[in-house]
Structure 1
C-alpha cells in the first residue's frame, strides 16, 4: 500500500526563481535536492489537485507545468499580465492583463492544452478579494462569476456559449462558490442606507435559480470571509466591521455566523469569550469546525455542524488553527505579531501532544499526508531571518533551512485519501517489527540447537546443515 502513495513535494521561490524539492524526511544536515533547476518567475501556484503548476513573469508570460514530470505543457505570451490562476484540475488558465480601453477585453479563460481563448470580458479594476474572477467547483463542472447586481454561470463544456444563466442579487459585493460539490453559491450584499448586510445562498441548479436557499442578515458589517465545508452543506461567515462601536478593539469588530443549506441552522456561532474571531477551519470530514477567538489569551473550541461545542483546546497567545488533512491532528498557534507558540493536539485522543515554537512565521500548513507541519518566515513580510521549519505530527522539529531571502513555500497538493492513516502505518510498522523479531528468534533457537549438536557429535561435520539467517 505504501508504494502506491504519491510522493510529497515542496515549491520554493527565491529572488532568482523557483524550484521543487522532494518531500521530507531529509538526512540530518543535508539540503534537499532540486527536482527542477531554478527558473525565473514573479509568481507561482499549484492547481488545487496538484496536477499542474503555474509560473508567471509579470507583464510578460505564463507557463504551465505537468507536476509529475515537471515538463512544460504550455507557455502563453501575455503582455501586460497582472494576475493568473489555474482552475482546480488545471484544465483552464485565467489571466488578467492591463487594458487602456473597455473595447479591449482583458480577462481571459484559456484552455491550457490547446491554448485556446474560450471566454473574454473587460474588467476595469482587479482586487485580491475578487480574484480569480471566474470560480470553479473542484471537478470543474460548475463555473460562475460576479457581475453588477448578479451572479453569472457558464457551461463548462462550452465556454463559447458565454453566460448561460444568471442569478439576480442587487448590490452584490462578494461571491463564493461551494467547491465539493459545486451545488451552491453564496453572495454578500453590504449594508447600505439603513438596510442590514446580508449573505444569501442559492442553488447552482439552473432550474432552481433565483430561489434563496438560506439567508442571514446583520448590521455592522463591511466585508466577509466565506468558509464552505466539504459536502457544501454548511457555510461559516466571518463578518468584519471596520470600526468597533463598542470601543474594545482598534482593528474593528468580527462575528462568526453559520448557515446550512437545509435551513437547520441560521444564526451566530455561540462563542464563550468576547473579542475578535482570529481563525476558523472545517475538518476534512466537513462535520466539525474549529475556531480561535477572543481577546488574548485567545480561546480555541471545536464545534459540530449543529453548532454545539465538542471540545476545548485551551487558551493561549493564539491566532491560527490548522487541522491536518486526515482530521486527526490539530495545531493551534500564534503567528504574525505573536511570539510563535504552537500546541500540537491529537483530536482523536482529545489530548495535547506537545508544545513547540516557530517565531516570526508567515506561512504554516500541514503536508497532504498529515504527517508533517511546515512553517516559514518569508519576504516581504520580514526581510531578515527567512527560514523554513518542518515538524512531525507530534511537534518535534525535523528540519530547518535558512535563506537570505525567501518569497514563497508551498506543499504540492494531493488528495489526503491517497495516503495511509498514521494509525495504519504504525500498525504496519509494528507488524514488521514483530515479524522481524520472530525471524531473529527462530535464527537464535536454530543456531543454539546446532551448537548443541556440535558438542554431542563432534566428529560429524554439521557445516552443511547451517543456514544464514
Structure 2
C-alpha cells in the first residue's frame, strides 16, 4: 500500500501549569517543533477518540470545545457550575458532564449536543468512579449508546435520545460494563462474587433482537475487581480478574488472573502465563506464537500499523525498552527512558513518545520521542509538565508503513546542542549532546538516576490510596492538588512547635 495523498500532520498536546499548547509533530524543521496553538490556560485537556474535537476545562465551571479538524479553533463554551468530570463522545458530537449533586432531585449528569449547546439527556447519579464514568458509553462510530443501571444495561438511540430507553438487558448485580468500540457489536458486563456465587463476566449482543442470552460467559472465584479490554474488531475480550488478597500467600499485592473470551464461542478460559514472568504473543485461541523473552518489563505497546512492538519497564522499573519488528520476529534496538509516566506510539506508527509528568513525579519532567527502532530523535525538558499526548488520527490515513519507514530512515538524530534556543523557563536540557540508543551501554544510567540514591525515600502509600489518587487525577485533570494537604500542613506546624519548645528548654 502506497502513502496516501496529503496525509495528516502529526500533532502533540503538551500541558504545563500555565495551560496547554499544541505542536506539529515530527519530523521537525530545524530540530524544533512548530507551535500550532499558543498556550491556553486550563486545568485539563483531552482529545476525542477520533481527534476531531478537544475538550478543555478552563475553571471549575467553564468548559470549552475546540474543533481540531483543520486549525485549532474554539467553537463552543459551556458554563456548568461545580463540574467534577467531563468527557467527549468518540466523534466529538456530545459532551458529557458530572456535577456535584446538592440533593437527590438534581439531574447532575448531562449529555450536551455540542452543535446546539443544549442537553439531550439528563439523569441523577450519586457518585462517580473510574468504572462508572463516563455514564453513557458510545461505540467508536457513535451508532450505539448505553449505560449501566441497577441490575441492567440500558440502550439508547444515539441519533435521538428523546426516545429514551429503547431496550434493556437484565443482569442482576452488575457493577461494571464495557461497550466494544469498533464496531459496537457487543457489551461486556461484570458481576462480582456474592454469597457463595462466583463472580462472572458475560457478553451480550447490542442487537435488540439477540439480547435474550449471553453469547459468552466466564465465572471465577477469588475476584474483587475486573478490568475489561475489547480487541479491535470486537471479536475478543480480555478480563483481568484481581483479588485484594492472595490466599496462596505468593504475592503481597493480591492475585491476578488473565481470562480471554471470544464472541463466536470458540474460546473461553485462562491465558496460560508461565513463570518466571516473560513476554509472549498469543493467537486468538491463546496458543503462544512468539516469545519476546524475559526482562524488567511491565508495559507492551503495539504499533498502530501492527508491525512494531515496544516492550518496556516503567513505573517502579528502570525504564528499559526493546523495540521489535513483529513481522520479521527480531529486535530492532534497545534503549532506556527513565521515570516515564506515559508512553504511546504516534498515529502513523513511526515514533514512540514517553513523558515524565507531574504530579506522579515532580522533577525531571520532560518528553522523549524515539524512532520506531529505538533511536532517540527528540528530547525536551520542562520545569513542570502535566500531560503529553499525540492527537489521535486513523492509522490508515498515513498510508503503508513501508513507505513511512523509508522517510523516517532519512532523518538524522537531533543533537541536544541544537536546543539552546528553547525557552529557558520551560527547558532544562543539558548542554552536551545526548547519546542515542546505539551509543548507550546496557547499564547506562543518567546522572539524575545516580543522584536519586541520596534522596529521602517517599512515605509508604497503600495501593488503594495510590489508585484513588490516580482516578481523581484522570477524571479531574491531573493537577487538582499541587500543594501539601491540610494534614501535612497541620503536622508541619506541630513539628515546628515541638522544635521551638525543645530549643527553649535547652536555653533554660
- Could you state the TM-score of these two structures normalised by the residue count of structure 2? 0.78
Report the counterpart of residue 397 of structure 1 in structure 2.
376
**Once the 2 structures are TM-superposed, how far is the Cα of residue 255 of structure 1 from its aligned partner?**
0.5
**Once the 2 structures are TM-superposed, how far is the Cα of residue 18 of structure 1 from its aligned partner?**
0.5
Pairing 1:299–2:278 present: yes
Distance 1:101 1:69 in 2: 42
SS at the partner of 2:233?
coil
Report the counterpart of residue 62 of structure 1 in structure 2.
63
SS at the partner of 1:146?
strand
CA contact (8 A) 1:368 1:413 kept: yes
- Listed as ranges, the matches of 1:115-264 within 5 Å are 115-264=117-266
Report the counterpart of residue 362 of structure 2 in structure 1.
383
Distance 1:336 1:425 in 2: 31
Distance 1:22 1:386 in 2: 20
**Once the 2 structures are TM-superposed, how far is the Cα of residue 323 of structure 1 from its aligned partner?**
0.5
Report the counterpart of residue 340 of structure 2 in structure 1.
361
**Once the 2 structures are TM-superposed, how far is the Cα of residue 42 of structure 1 from its aligned partner?**
1.1
CA contact (8 A) 2:359 2:386 kept: yes
Report the counterpart of residue 414 of structure 1 in structure 2.
393
CA contact (8 A) 2:83 2:97 kept: yes
SS at the partner of 1:160?
helix
**Once the 2 structures are TM-superposed, how far is the Cα of residue 65 of structure 1 from its aligned partner?**
0.5
Structure 2 vs 1, CA of residues 105 and 3 (structure 1 numbering), >3 Å: closer, same or farther? same
SS at the partner of 1:4?
coil
For structure 1, the 5+ residue unaligned runs are 274-293, 431-469
**Once the 2 structures are TM-superposed, how far is the Cα of residue 428 of structure 1 from its aligned partner?**
8.3
Distance 1:13 1:164 in 2: 41
1:24-72 deviations in whole A, cap 9, x for unaligned? 1225653x23211211111111111111111013421111101121111
Distance 1:399 1:37 in 2: 20
Report the counterpart of residue 466 of structure 1 in structure 2.
none
Structure 2 vs 1, CA of residues 58 and 8 (structure 1 numbering), >3 Å: closer, same or farther? same
Distance 2:122 2:333 in 1: 52
Pairing 1:343–2:322 present: yes
CA contact (8 A) 1:58 1:80 kept: no
**Once the 2 structures are TM-superposed, how far is the Cα of residue 138 of structure 1 from its aligned partner?**
0.6
CA contact (8 A) 1:26 1:399 kept: no
Distance 1:19 1:272 in 2: 44
Report the counterpart of residue 310 of structure 2 in structure 1.
331
Distance 1:324 1:428 in 2: 17
Aligned positions, number = 407
What stretches of structure 1 move > 6 A for 4+ residues in a row? 427-430
CA contact (8 A) 1:50 1:413 kept: yes
CA contact (8 A) 1:58 1:82 kept: no
SS at the partner of 2:50?
coil
- Could you state the TM-score of these two structures normalised by the residue count of structure 1? 0.85
Structure with the greater relative contact order (CA < 8 A, sep ≥ 6): 1 or 2?
2
1:223-244 deviations in whole A, cap 9, x for unaligned? 1111111211111111111111
1:131-183 deviations in whole A, cap 9, x for unaligned? 11100001100000111111011111111122111110011110000011111
Distance 2:405 2:104 in 1: 60
Structure 2 vs 1, CA of residues 202 and 334 (structure 1 numbering), >3 Å: closer, same or farther? same
**Once the 2 structures are TM-superposed, how far is the Cα of residue 424 of structure 1 from its aligned partner?**
3.0
Pairing 1:51–2:30 present: no
1:336-359 deviations in whole A, cap 9, x for unaligned? 000000001011100011110000
SS at the partner of 1:212?
coil
Structure whose CA Rg is larger? 1
